[in-house]
Amino acid sequence: TSDGSLFLDGQPVDLPGLSLSLRERLAVGPIKRCFVAADRTVPHGQVVAVLDVLRHLGIQEVALETTADRGGP
């Protein structure tokens, strides 16, 4: 979110917690696809940091969720 909050499956998590949770899931089995959603107020660097965690963990199929722009700039 624009205030720096991250969520994984609707639960708040920080960046190290995201990495840990995903590592635990990968220990059980592969993650086929990961979806990343961010609105326009989220700083680009925060999205890149999340993508870096995914890449570092070897998660290769990442989909960026988008919504239709409803007349905003």
Encode pLDDT of 28-61 as tens digits: 999 988 999 988 888 889 999 999 999 999 998 9
How many Cβ atoms sit within 10 Å of the Cβ of residue 22? 20
Distance CA 58, CA 60 (A): 6
Q: What is the pTM of this model?
A: 0.83
Give the model's pLDDT for residue 11.
93
Give the model's pLDDT for residue 3.
80
Strands 6-8 and 11-13: what pairing? Answer: antiparallel
